[in-house]
Copies of this chain bind each other. A is one copy, B any other.
Amino acid sequence: MPFRRIAILGLGLIGSSLARAVRARLPDVALVGFDRDPAVVTRVAELGLVDILSPSAAAAARGAELVVLATPLGTFAELAQAIAPALEPDAVVSDVGSAKQAVIEAVAPCLPAHAHLVPAHPVAGTEQSGPDAGFEDLFQGRWAILTPPPGTPPMAVERVRRLWEAVGATVEVMDARHHDLVLAITSHLPHLIAYSIVGTASDLESVTKAEVIKYSAGGFRDFTRIAASDPTMWRDVFLMNREAVLEMLARFSEDLAALQRAIRWGDGETLFRRFAASRAIRRAIVEAGQDTAAPDFGRRR
């Protein structure tokens, strides 16, 4: 049992999944929850996800050995200020955000010297939001990336590692800036592109929205699933990982322009070469166990 008392601030998809997973895998941990949305608090009480529902972030943090920030990234600085006076000696502060250098910059300056920051990012999620969308196995077989700033006591990192391993994740420790670059290409840019093309489709005047919906099985549908993810969370990810996202976006735009040029000039050879190379990446992902080879794009209803 890495922590005896854990406070989770924010009980949406990820926070409520963590509560469920801790309850199932570490039943002796005392779970304290806080959410600023009264509707979420009511629902979490009905579902019985935590032992104690606190009226404030500071009250939740008081007495906790671990405080997990599970709200949108944009709220972290304010939350850190609110909980700082309540933190116990050797309390660990962690989070579940998708950008990590920004967490260090927003949270670390607010914390007292006797508390330790161990930022974490479980690479797991669905396109759904809220406490009802969470489930116990969300982290099973997924990666959890820890990005402790230099000087973090190894024991604090170790305890957070043990928590994520207890709920089924495989833990990697990484430099925060490198994390942000890796996730910019594997997660942030795909989401930005998906949001963008769904927007493009809904703005057309020559093709009706009904037609877009009707024939979405041709590929568009999969983009809409990604683009259904929580807008507040994603707004904050893009604002908080600005540099890495803009860098990847610039590269993507160049590559897309090259394909555009090949189409315009009828350069089939370039198109074929680029398309064929993509299959190799797909194969590697299936072999690495990150997806199945079962045909999914044309999945039955």
Contacts and interface: CB of A to CB of B under 8 A. Distances in A.
Interface of A: 74, 98, 123-128, 133, 137-138, 140-143, 145, 178, 181-183, 185-204, 206-207, 209, 211-229, 231-232, 234-236, 238-239, 242, 245-246, 248-249, 251-253, 255-256, 259-260, 263-264, 266, 268, 271-272, 274-285, 288-292, 295-298, 300-301
Contact of A264 (B192, B218, B242): B242
Q: By DSSP majority rule, is chain A's interface helix, strand, loop, or mixed?
A: helix
A55 B275 CA distance: 31
A264 B225 CA distance: 26
Contacts of A190: 197, 218-220, 222-223
Copies of this chain present in the complex amount to 2
B181 A251 contact: no
Contacts of A252: 196-197, 200
B199 A274 contact: yes
Nearest to A133: B295
A298 B181 CA distance: 21
Nearest to A287: B213
Given A185-B204, A190-B219, A224 B256 contact: no
